[in-house]
Each structure stands twice: as C-alpha cells, then as structure tokens.
Amino acid sequence: MIWLIIARCILSFVRHDPYQPIIRFVYDMTEPIMAPFRRLLPTAGGIDFSPILAVLAIQYAVQPILLWLVRTIL
C-alpha cells in the first residue's frame, strides 16, 4: 500500500491520463486511505500532506502486528 501512495505522489508531478486503468487502480486503492487525512489537514500552499500522514498511519498500524508475528514465530 505504501508503494501505491508513493506512486500516487509521483503521478501528481507528471501529466497522466486519469482514465488509464493502472492510474485508476492507483487512485481507487489509495483514496479511501488518504481521504480522511485530507479532510483533517488542509493543503498548505498547494502541498498535500495527506500521503505523509497516511504512510505514517500504515507504519504505526502494521508495526505491532509484525512484532507480534515475530514473537510468535520465535
């Protein structure tokens, strides 16, 4: 998921066809995660900070699960 968010950030800097299937897939997969952060945090000078917050939230959500899995296996 983090890679899709990074891809979406890169797409925001280049011209692309939003109706191309792969582009549509990236937007469809990342929008449900980024939309709540976008509502909480307004853009500052045209810069959208929601991808940063989304990546941090994913990291903090996944880290305890991975630690639990490692402890269970070892």
pLDDT tens digits, the chain, 74 residues: what are they? Answer: 899 999 999 998 999 998 999 999 999 999 999 999 988 887 778 888 899 999 999 999 999 999 999 999 88
Nearest to 50 by CA among 31, 37, 32, 33: 37
Residues 6 or more apart in contact with residue 18 via CB below 8 angstroms = 24, 27
pLDDT at 36: 92
Contact 29, 1 (CB under 8 A): yes
Distance CA 52, CA 20 (A): 25
Range of the domain at 6: 2-73
pLDDT at 10: 92
Q: How many CB atoms lie within 10 A of CB 5?
A: 20
Nearest to 26 by CA among 9, 47, 39: 9
What is the domain count for the chain? 1
